[in-house]
Amino acid sequence: MNDLPARPAKLTREQQKAAKQRGKDFDAALKRGACSAGWRYARGEVFRQSGDWFISIMPSLLWERGVVVRMMVKPMALDPLFWDIVGLNENEALPLSFRATGAWVLRPPSTDEHVGLNTAEVQALSVEVLEWSNRRATEILKTISIETMLTALPSSENLGGQPRALATCLHILLDDLDGAMRLCRIDDAETHPLMREGGGFTTHNRDGSISTFLDQARDWIARKRRGELSVV
C-alpha cells in the first residue's frame, strides 16, 4: 500500500480535532528523537550543520499515514554573505535554526519525497523520518556543490525574485564577481518583468529611500573590487 492517502474533502469536528492532536504528537515524537539521531529541532523542522553545509528537513503528515518530507541543503557561508550584503550581519549571532525558519535567509529549492506510506503511528513515523534524513543527507553531501546548485537553477533570463538573489550569492561564493554583477544589472526594468522584484528583498533606508537586494549587491561587489585593488 504505497499509494498516497487521500484527505477527505470535508472533515468533521472530531476528525479536525484528531488531526490536530496527531500533528502535535508527531512533532513531540520528532523533537524527542532528533538529538539522538544527530539532528536539532525547531518549529516542526529538524536541521543540522554537516561540515560546510546546512541541512534542514520539514516533514508534513499526510492523511492518516505517511509523511511528505522537504529537504533543503545550502552552504554554511551562504546566509552570512547574504546578511553582509543587506546589512544584517547581526543575524550571524542568531541560533542555527534561523537559517531554516528565519525571514531574511536564502532558501534553495527543496526536494520532496514521501516517507512511511505504510505507517500510521506517529512515533514510528518520526523514526522513519529521521532514518530517511540521515540516509538522504549522506547521499546528497557526496554530490552537491555550489556549481551543481547553480546548474539546477533556471537560466538568468528566467530567474526572478529570491532565486536571483540566491544565484548572485552563489556566484560570489565562487569568486565570480562578473557573473554576480551580470545578474544584478538592470538596463530597463520595464522590459524585464522578472527584474522588477529586485531579488525578492527590499530594505527601507534611514533616509526614507528603498534599496532592493540587487541594488545592495551591486554596491557590495563594487566595494569588494575596490578593496581588492587597494590590497594590490
pLDDT at residue 165, rounded to an integer: 95
Per-residue pLDDT of the chain (232 residues; tens, 9 = 90+): 568 888 888 999 999 999 999 999 999 999 999 999 999 999 999 999 999 999 999 999 999 999 999 999 999 999 999 999 999 999 999 999 999 999 899 999 999 999 999 999 999 999 999 999 999 999 999 999 999 999 999 988 788 889 999 999 999 999 999 999 999 886 545 545 555 567 888 888 888 888 899 999 999 999 999 887 765 5
Give the length of the chain: 232
CA angle, residues 216, 217, 221, in degrees to nearest 5: 120
- Closest Cα to residue 104, out of 165, 26, 31, 36? 165
Residues sharing a CB contact under 8 Å with residue 137, sequence separation 6 or more, in sequence order = 48, 50, 55, 71, 73
Query: What 3 state SS string does the chain have?
Result: CCCCCCCCCCCCHHHHHHHHHHHHHHHHHHHHHHCCCCCEEECCEEEEEECCEEEEEEEEECCCCCEEEEEEEEECCHHHHHHHHHCCHHHHHCCCCHHHHCCCCCCCCCEEEEECCCCCCHHHHHHHHHHHHHHHHHHHHCCCCHHHHHHHCCCHHHCCHHHHHHHHHHHHHCCCHHHHHHHHCCCCHHHCHHHHHCCCCEEECCCCCEEEHHHHHHHHHHHHHHHHHHHC
pLDDT of residue 191: 47
pLDDT value at residue 196: 56
Q: Which of 223, 222, 175, 166 has the alpha carbon at shortest distance from 197?
A: 166
Asked if 117 contacts 66 with a C-beta cutoff of 8 angstroms, the reply is yes
Joined together, the cell numbers standing for residue 32 give 524527542
Quote the pLDDT of residue 204. Answer: 86
Q: Which three cell numbers stand for residue 212?
A: 532592493
- Tell me how far apart the alpha carbons of residues 219 and 215 are, in angstroms, rounded to a whole number: 6
Q: What is the model's pLDDT at position 124?
A: 98
- What was the pLDDT predicted at 105? 96
